[in-house]
């Protein structure tokens, strides 16, 4: 496993319709916590409310109706998302994963069966696997994409 999660410009180096479909299914109606650079690289995600973590505390470059809030304090942003009453997902980037690693209870991993040379990602994040409990594997063979779900025991 390479741990590649994206590119420094906020874009995603993988393009998989199966992965996008799963993301849509998992996060529909949810509150999504995302870093500002990652947010800037995302398309508009309808049916979700975005909470943007920004070092400056300034609003993201595009404030859209589906923005639930923004803040420079990870704890304040998490409280906003939780108070929304929606399921909360942390969707990146690497620093955002790091900030919330102590409160996450589930990990949804996507594995692309491709060589590292075929993937031009330059941002990595490796979860501490020592506290992960494997739950399930779902494989969508048409794109050689494997989904693994874990719970985190503390």
Query: Edge-to-edge, what's the strand order for the sheet holding 88-90?
Result: 67-71, 49-53, 31-35, 88-90
Q: Between 86 and 118, whose confidence is greater?
A: 86
Strands (E) across the chain are located at 4-6, 31-35, 49-53, 67-71, 88-90, 106-112, 123-124, 132-140, 145-152
Choice between 142 and 138, residue whose per-residue pLDDT is larger? 138
Q: What is the pLDDT of residue 90?
A: 96
Q: How confident is residue 118, by pLDDT bands cut at 50, 70 and 90?
A: low
CA–CA distance, 88 with 28 (Å, rounded to integer): 11
pLDDT, position 25: 93
Could you report the per-residue pLDDT of 37-90, keeping only the tens digit for each?
Answer: 888 888 888 899 999 999 887 777 776 778 898 999 999 999 999 999 999 999
């Amino acid at each position: 496993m390479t741990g590649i999660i994206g590119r420094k410009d906020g874009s995603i180096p993988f393009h998989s319709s199966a992965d996008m479909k799963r993301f849509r299914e998992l996060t529909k109606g949810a509150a999504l916590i995302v870093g500002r650079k990652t947010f800037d690289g995302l398309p508009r995600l309808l049916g979700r409310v975005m909470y943007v973590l920004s070092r400056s505390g300034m609003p993201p470059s595009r404030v859209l109706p589906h923005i639930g809030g923004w803040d420079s304090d990870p704890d304040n942003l998490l409280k906003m998302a939780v108070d929304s009453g929606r399921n909360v997902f942390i969707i990146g980037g690497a620093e955002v994963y790091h900030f919330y690693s102590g409160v996450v209870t589930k990990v949804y991993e996507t594995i692309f069966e491709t060589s590292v040379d075929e993937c031009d990602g330059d941002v990595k994040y490796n979860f501490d696997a020592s506290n992960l409990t494997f739950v399930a594997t779902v494989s969508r063979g048409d794109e050689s994409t494997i989904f693994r779900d874990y719970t985190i025991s503390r």
